[in-house]
Amino acid sequence: MKQRMVMVISTLLNPKLLVADEVTSALDVSTQRAVALALAGFRDRDLVHAMIVITHDVSLVYQIADTILVMYAGKLAEKAPTDVIVERPLHPYTRALIAALPEVGVQYAGKRLTGIPGGPPSLRPPPPGCRFRDRCPVAFDRCAEQPPFVEVEPGHSVACWRAS
């Protein structure tokens, strides 16, 4: 209830930008849904001009975002309209994130969800090259160099040597 109240108060002065950082963390599923609906309502009623929603919950941003920007270990991985990210992800990390989402209506009793193998890199100091390469199923020698963040089609940018 406190989080919802803070969200409402944050819109009282018609802000140009609302930053919601992990706004649904530590909430039960029904409250997460209520928060997502509230954020969508702020957008739809023009109570805020723009929102940045920082989250690890792809299903949350899918409900409310026009564009998704995926980062891995502090670096840009992929940016595209929401439907493109969910339906046609190009970066291996984005693909793994989308593949890890449970499907609605599917029984997982005899089947296990798979995560992304390995762990994130230490950022003290950050490794050279693509930071996802040690966990990436398509990594190759060139991944030791940082790939540029390039537009591969209008509105869709990715930082991966294999994506172009």
pLDDT average per 10 residues of sequence, the chain (164 residues) = 71 82 84 85 86 88 91 96 95 91 66 80 93 95 96 97 85
Give the pLDDT confidence score for residue 164 in this predicted structure. Answer: 65
Give the pLDDT confidence score for residue 76 in this predicted structure. Answer: 96
Following DSSP, what letter does each residue of 27-72 receive, concatenated?
A: --HHHHHHHHHHHHHHHHTTSSSEEEEE-S-HHHHHHH-SEEEEEE
- Give every CB contact of residue 84 below 8 A, 6+ residues apart in sequence: 155, 156
Give the pLDDT confidence score for residue 110 in this predicted structure. Answer: 65
Query: Tokens at residue 84, please?
Result: 């493109």
Give the pLDDT confidence score for residue 156 in this predicted structure. Answer: 98
Give the pLDDT confidence score for residue 34 in this predicted structure. Answer: 84
User: Are the beta carbons of 36 and 60 closer than 8 angstroms?
Assistant: yes
User: Are the beta carbons of 77 and 120 closer than 8 angstroms?
Assistant: no
Give the pLDDT confidence score for residue 105 in this predicted structure. Answer: 62
Separation of first and last alpha carbons in the chain: 45
CA atoms of 149 and 163, how far apart (whole Å): 11
Global confidence as pTM: 0.85
Give the pLDDT confidence score for residue 116 in this predicted structure. Answer: 86
Give the pLDDT confidence score for residue 84 in this predicted structure. Answer: 96
Query: Tokens at residue 99, please?
Result: 């593949």
Query: Tokens at residue 3, please?
Result: 């989080």
Short-list 85, 92, 78, CA closest to 61: 85
Q: How many CB atoms lie within 10 A of CB 23?
A: 23
Query: Tokens at residue 146, please?
Result: 């940082």
